[in-house]
């Protein structure tokens, strides 16, 4: 992380209150779907039946709409929110786990980032002592470190969002905790994400740049907090960039002719829908040329990094049971299927 402090052009009040104020505004805007259970715990306004598995996640603020944007019918039951780019503490997560404890159980979905994992492991230990019925799933679909990198060394990126959809639909359908976990684990293993950045972002609480790139360069593999990716190059065209990114994703999920997939282009804050649709077009055509079917596509911002320019490309190879789960109804502020 660089220490350079930039002039921020942002609409802010007290920087220390950003997370609390954004959650207040968010839950007021979508009061029919989400509400604040207590400070920094976002829950469904209309709770799921207690005989069904609950889904809980955690993560820092500053990545909106993730993760709280996907709390609602058919997806998450609760999102435990930290400060900007910082994991919530274990006591806050334990509070949510105790609230949602039930005979059917809880699936805790955690993105593989050091702070999130530390808080989750501590909360899981405390939950175990209290006899709570909770299982944990770690997402780790970033392939920027190489296809042979162990799962524990891969970061969790925006692939968590379609995983919320699949696991949430399974839970809503009344499947057991073991079944929901198995479906989500299988989906987790069959998705891969690669990110690219053209510009960095600033930390909204202190104005410091969290990453920097020369004006004529981009970096493939940059993490969502500006972590280095190792693939720095001069800026390529949309087609060249898409081609360079989709090929390793196809290899990572071992997609072959006849396979069904979901392709997502997730904008990270400052790249336009126009640009992202150009990228989707080329990636789709590469898959099509190899006989790989894209049965579900999405071009949107689902996990952002303030004003960073770039995107994350996510490819998920789908089993037969994943398809109806993706198509099942859900009703959250930022993902709705009717």
- Is the separation of the CB atoms in 307 and 269 below 8 Å? yes
d(C-alpha 283, C-alpha 249), whole Å: 10
d(C-alpha 281, C-alpha 239), whole Å: 8
Catalytic hit among 46, 63, 140, 203: 63
User: Hey, what's the torsion of the CAs at 282, 151, 82, 299, to 10 degrees?
Assistant: 10
Which residue shows structure tokens 């609409």? 11
Give the number of other CB atoms < 10 A from CB of residue 22: 17
d(C-alpha 164, C-alpha 105), whole Å: 16
| Rounded (5°) CA angle 111-68-90 | 55
Q: Which residues contact 155 (CB under 8 A, 6 or more apart)?
A: 111, 112, 113, 140, 142, 144, 223, 224, 227
Cross-strand partners of 305: 307
Residue 34 phi, psi dihedral angles, 5° rounding: -135, 155
- DSSP string covering 42-53, please? EEESSPPPTTS-
Q: Is 63 a catalytic residue?
A: yes
Structure tokens at 220: 């493939």
Structure tokens at 204: 């909204």
Residue in 266, 298, 302 with CA at minimum distance from that of residue 284: 298
| Rounded (5°) CA angle 128-132-135 | 75
Catalytic hit among 113, 203, 225, 322: 225
Q: Which residues are catalytic?
A: 63, 225
């Amino acid at each position: 992380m660089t220490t350079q402090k930039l002039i921020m052009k942002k609409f802010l009040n007290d920087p220390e209150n950003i997370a609390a104020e954004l959650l207040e505004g968010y839950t007021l805007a979508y009061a029919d779907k989400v509400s604040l259970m207590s400070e920094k715990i976002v829950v469904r306004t209309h709770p799921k039946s207690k005989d069904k598995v609950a889904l809980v996640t955690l993560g820092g603020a500053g990545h909106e709409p993730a993760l709280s944007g996907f709390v609602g019918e058919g997806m998450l039951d609760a999102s435990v929110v930290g400060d900007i780019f910082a994991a919530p503490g274990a006591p806050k997560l334990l509070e949510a786990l105790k609230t949602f404890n039930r005979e059917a159980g809880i699936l805790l979905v955690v993105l593989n980032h050091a702070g999130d994992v530390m808080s989750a492991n501590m909360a899981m230990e405390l939950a175990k002592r209290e006899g709570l019925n909770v299982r944990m799933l770690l997402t780790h679909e970033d392939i920027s470190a190489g296809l042979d990198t162990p799962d524990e060394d891969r970061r969790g990126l925006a692939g968590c969002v379609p995983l919320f959809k699949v696991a949430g639909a399974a839970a809503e359908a009344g499947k057991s905790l073991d079944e929901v976990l198995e479906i989500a684990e299988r989906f987790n293993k069959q998705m891969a994400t690669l990110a690219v950045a053209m510009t960095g972002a600033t930390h909204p609480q202190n104005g410091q740049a969290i990453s920097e790139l020369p004006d004529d360069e981009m970096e493939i593999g940059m993490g969502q907090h500006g972590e280095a990716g190792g693939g720095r190059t001069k800026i390529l065209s949309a087609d060249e960039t898409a081609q360079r990114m989709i090929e390793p994703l196809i290899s990572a999920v071992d997609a072959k002719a006849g396979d069904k997939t979901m392709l997502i282009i997730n904008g990270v804050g400052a790249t336009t829908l126009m640009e992202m649709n150009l990228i989707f077009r080329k990636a789709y055509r590469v898959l099509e040329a190899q006989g790989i079917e894209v049965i579900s596509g999405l071009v949107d911002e689902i996990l952002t990094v303030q004003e960073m320019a770039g995107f994350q490309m996510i490819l998920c190879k789908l089993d037969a049971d994943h398809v109806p789960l993706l198509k099942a109804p859900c009703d959250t502020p930022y993902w709705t299927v009717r």
